[in-house]
Amino acid sequence: MTAKLIDGNALAAQIRAEVAGRTAALKARGVQPHLAIILVGEDPASQVYVKHKAADSEQTGLKASLERLPATLSEADLLARIRALNEDPSVHGILVQLPLPKHMDTHKVIETISPAKDVDGFHVASAGALMVGQPGFWPCTPYGCLKMLESIGYDLKGKHAVVIGRSNIVGKPMAMMLLGRDATVTVCHSRTKDLGAITRQADVVVAAVGKRNVLTADMIKPGAVVIDVGMNRNDEGKLCGDVDFAGVKEVAGWITPVPGGVGPMTRAMLLVNTIEAAERSAQ
Ligand code: GUN
């Protein structure tokens, strides 16, 4: 059996087109949706990420303002800048790119962002809203994974979904979203005993560990849906996920590729959260 691919690039393009339509509608009402992006320091990967986020925004008609602040900036000055953006009615979404310089308390910085503008969905209020099923912003990566499952018309009700990874930005919110869709959810992690025994029972597996070959063909049920959140490099330096794609695609029913799977969806969902923030503020 060869799995069908869930094409993240194609789905992300469709989502960007929808966001562009919503942006145009808001602009027609005199509101320019605006995402403020803050980059502190010069981390090379972060520089690339923020450039992409700004370009994606502009492409869909959202205004993106990218502020590059020096690594020597004090935490107090960063918090003051975030508070100013919270108060600025022309700004709808605020994203502080992580990681931050070591002298800053990431938790404190994130908690300073207004939950109404928390388009990354990292604030505890956003996490709490997701947990209790209240409106809020969902973290972009698991939200993108959920959209991928929706795109194939997959009904999660009563299905066994196994999430590998328990991070605050992927594993835990992913589990909550799947639970919200009536799946039976198991969260596995580095201390899980006999991972394969659990994943072999899964109808859906989401791998979000950040380690190659965490999921191999012998660890899945034939026909399972496999979502690969990993972004790793193999020995040849090529981008690869957490899943042994070559092996797993012969057993799975559906699979997401890396690259071209969850990555573009994460970027697209930031735009969705931003337009959503602007629409809510314009109500
Ligand atoms: N660094 C790596 N990924 C992300 C992300 O999704 N949001 C932010 N703010 N920083 C990141």
Nearest CA to ligand 1 atom 9: 97
State the chain's mean pLDDT as an integer. 97
Q: 95 - beta bridge partners?
A: 37
Inter-CA distances, 41 with 4, 55, 95, Å: 41, 20, 15
**CA-CA distance, 33 to 114, in Å (whole number)?**
16
Band of pLDDT at residue 1, cut at 50, 70 and 90: low
Mean local confidence (pLDDT), 196-203? 98
Mean pLDDT over 34-62 rounds to: 97
pTM: 0.97
**CA-based nearest residue to 187, from 197, 198, 196, 201:** 198
ipTM: 0.95
Average pLDDT over residues 44-58: 97
Closest CA to 91 of 52, 110, 119, 72: 119
> Which tokens sit at 39?
């980059």
Question: Residue 46 C-alpha to ligand 1 middle, in angstroms?
Answer: 8
- Report the share of the chain in percent with pLDDT over 90: 99
Please identify every residue annotated as catalytic: 53, 97, 120
Give residue 261's pLDDT: 98
Q: What is the pLDDT of residue 148?
A: 98
Residue ranges of E strands in 128-224: 160-164, 184-188, 204-207
CA distance 12 to 262: 9
Provide the pLDDT confidence category of residue 182 given band limits of 50, 70 and 90: very high
% of the chain at pLDDT higher than 70: 100
- Residue 135, preceding bond cis, omega within 30 degrees? no
Q: How far is the CA of 201 from the centre of ligand 1 (A)?
A: 32
Answer positive or negative: Cα dihedral of 48, 113, 118, 138.
positive
Ligand 1 and 109: CB distance under 6 A: no
In angstroms, rounded to a whole number, what is the distance separating the alpha carbons of residues 186 and 200? 12
96 lines ligand 1 (CB under 6 A): yes
Write out pLDDT tens, residues 117-140: 999 999 999 999 999 999 999 999
Token pair of 218, please?
């012998």
Sorted by where each starts, the structural domains of the chain and their CATH numbers stand as 31-114 (3.40.50.10860), 139-263 (3.40.50.720)
Summarised one tens digit per residue, pLDDT across range 220-231 is: 999 999 999 999
Phi, psi of 94 (to 5 degrees): -125, 130
Are the C-beta atoms of residues 118 and 128 closer than 8 Å to each other? no
Q: How many CB atoms lie within 10 A of CB 251?
A: 20
From CA 163, how far away is CA 145, in angstroms rounded? 11
CA dist 217 and 246 (Å) reads 9
273 ligand 1 Cβ < 6 A = no
Report the distance separating Cα 199 and Cα 164, nearest Å. Answer: 9
Q: Tens digit of pLDDT for each residue in 67-122?
A: 999 999 999 999 999 999 999 999 999 999 999 999 999 999 999 999 999 999 99
- Predicted local distance difference test score (pLDDT) of residue 283: 84
